[in-house]
Copies of this chain bind each other. A is one copy, B any other.
Amino acid sequence: MMMNMVTALNSALAIEMENDDSIAILGEDVGAVGGVFRVTEGLQERFGTDRVIDTPLSESLIAGMATGMAMAGMRPIAEMQFMGFSYPALNIIISHIARMRNRSRGSYTVPLVIRMPYGAGIKALEHHSESTESIYAQIPGLKVVIPSSPREAKGLLISSIRDPDPVIFLEPARNYRLFSEEVEEDAFTISLGESKMVQEGDDITIVGWGAMMPIIQEATHSVEEIGISCEVIDLRTISPMDSEAVIKSVIKTGRVIIVQEAPMTCGVASELIARISNKAFLSLEAPPERVTAPDITVPLPKGEKYYYINMEKIRDSIEKVISF
């Protein structure tokens, strides 16, 4: 069935809720409205207000309430309306959700999912374009998943819901309705922590995740014309991070670019490069490169072009690394 990312996510939620009545959704405007992006559309009607819960405007409470529900044996799926509004919940996420299992040496666990749209490129107001995924990726005890396509979104969300650990599920807002693809109607899973080999190639490894994937593919197609063969990896889960697959690829190609929507400093790309440069040191034929946003606050739409990564930037970087 053809689905875009929104309908694929909706399908994942509906299937899982159908199969497991310990699952409940909570967040701002997730009910009648179906969330501001309509990911939860129709679910309240179908599963009732007890299982699709419109909460007051309180992000810290949403995270904490989900924590308690999970501790009591439910499988809550919380929605933060945008990543930029998840910051009030960081204390609960860092101080409780990530640690409850370790703090209690396993007496209590917090199997929950916190979904949120993230990323720029949707011409939005301030705070609606954040990509601070490395805040989450650095917290031990959390898993952080970022799908890049409708099918990936469905399979990864189902895995996240079934996972015994808390998962931060970041949905690239820009890709919600960017394209559709064939997606299985039934449930299926995609393992957390395994990257996806999007395309094999010999000359250079390009790694990305989320909204960067379609742009990376544009760029790699364009350099193929000039004879550069790219190996493309979609990281899919940034925590745990499948650096093994990336390192294996770099050992083969000798060259690597990490494409990251977020600003440069202390992002996920830097972690990957630190691992690569340590473990693929002798294989590297050129300096590992990053293509990232500059270290500035995401500009409002009129200035976004100075921030957002486009295919030219990636292509130029490929040419630079190849010709090193």
Contact call B281/A286, Cβ cutoff below 8 A: yes
Q: A269 an interface residue at 8 Å Cβ cutoff?
A: yes
Contact call A87/B90, Cβ cutoff below 8 A: yes
Distance in angstroms between the alpha carbons of A254 and B80 in the assembled complex: 46
In the bound complex, residues from chain B placing their C-beta under 8 Å from that of A277 are 273-274, 276-277, 284, 287-288
Q: A102 an interface residue at 8 Å Cβ cutoff?
A: yes
Copies in the complex: 2
Size band of the A side of the interface? 35 or more
Distance in angstroms between the alpha carbons of A235 and B11 in the assembled complex: 49
Contact call A265/B87, Cβ cutoff below 8 A: no
Contact call B134/A266, Cβ cutoff below 8 A: yes
CB closest residue in chain B, given A286: B281
Distance in angstroms between the alpha carbons of A279 and B286 in the assembled complex: 11
Contact call B91/A87, Cβ cutoff below 8 A: yes
Q: A137 an interface residue at 8 Å Cβ cutoff?
A: yes
Contact for A138 among B88, B127, B263, B278, CB less than 8 A? B263
Most B CB contacts (10 A, CB to CB) among A91, A141, A269, A290 go to A91
Q: A53 an interface residue at 8 Å Cβ cutoff?
A: no
